[in-house]
Amino acid sequence: MLVPALRRHEIPRMRSQVQEMFGRIAHRYDFLNHLLSLGLDRGWRRRALARLGWTRIPDGHFLDACAGTLDVSVALAGQREFRGTVVAVDFAEPMLRSGKSKARGRPVFPVTGDTMRLPLRDASCAGAIVAFGIRNVADLDLGLSEISRVLAPGARLVVLEFTTPPSRLVRSAYHLYFHHIVPLVGGWISGQRDAYRYLPESVAAFPRPDVLAQRMRAAGLADVTWTSLTFGVAAIHAGTRPAS
């Protein structure tokens, strides 16, 4: 379903397909995330939030792009010293609605919107995070540029995303699990097998960590670094909007 580079006229069609797909699986999304990642996704999110540097401006406005069911938004807003707000943007409204109960009583504001056209002012965010969503943006470079646009000087973007492990042995086991077990189990539980075939396809088509780092730099971010997680099945990237 996903290819490394889309022609401009193909972007609206892909966007519509992915949006509709996530709407269909929203009701089982959290359960399957935790099940199919063997619970590792919780620790990965904690590590990504630790890289955000929110303690620098604990009362700032933060963006959770491709926010899904609000796991990251709620985790950030629930930090003991956090006094700011989190704007959670996702183009699949059923996903936001599915996670709304988790955000009750937290300074989290879900907004149905597109990461390629963020409904936020220039330099209005003290930081931004995207957890397992940037690969679903139809135009990756446009999405990264939009996030960079809304970051204040000195603010950081953190991207948590699946990757393909570099080790041949780990990669073989990873492909077996991702291409066979995930579609089978995910499809059986959700009733949407196509959606869980999309997951390994989208990861396989996504840029390698070093290439993603280059594209973050091209989007205007500086000091871009990345760290592999759990034998290279995921990675955390971080980059900063330059002060000038």
**Could you tell me the two tokens for 55?**
């303690």
Q: Smallest Cα–Cα separation from 148: which of 201, 217, 94, 87?
A: 217
List per-block mean pLDDT (blocks of 10 residues) for the chain, which spans 244 residues: 44 61 63 71 94 97 95 96 97 89 95 95 98 91 98 98 90 83 72 72 89 98 97 95 88
CA 237-241-244 angle, to 5 degrees, is 150
**Which secondary-structure segment (H or E) carries 234?**
strand 234-240
For residue 3, the model assigns a pLDDT of 37
Rg of the Cα trace of the chain? Answer: 17
Taking only the tens place, the pLDDT of each residue in 147-181 is 999 999 999 999 999 898 889 899 898 888 877 78
d(CA 146, CA 124) in angstroms, rounded, equals: 12
Query: Residue 201: what pLDDT?
Result: 83
Beta bridge mates, 161: 235
Say if residues 28 and 195 touch (Cβ distance below 8 Å): no
The terminus-to-terminus CA distance of the chain in angstroms comes to 39
Helix or strand or coil: residue 228? strand
SS3 for 7-29 is CHHHHHHHHHHHHHHHHHHHHHH
pLDDT for position 187 = 67
SS (H, E, C) 45-107: HHHHHHHCCHHHCCCCEEEEECCCCCHHHHHHHCCCCCCCEEEEEECCHHHHHHHHHHHCCCC
Backbone angles phi, psi at 55, to 5 degrees: -65, -15
pLDDT for residue 4: 43
Q: Can you give the pLDDT at residue 179? A: 78
Query: What is residue 24's predicted lDDT score, i.e. its pLDDT?
Result: 62
Domain ranges of the chain: 8-163+208-240
- Amino acid at the residue 206: F
Q: How is domain 8-163+208-240 classified at the CATH fold level?
A: Rossmann fold (3.40.50)
d(CA 90, CA 67): 5
- Read off the amino acid at residue 64: D
Is pTM, for the whole model, over 0.85? yes
Pairing relationship of beta strands 151-162 and 234-240 according to DSSP bridges:
antiparallel
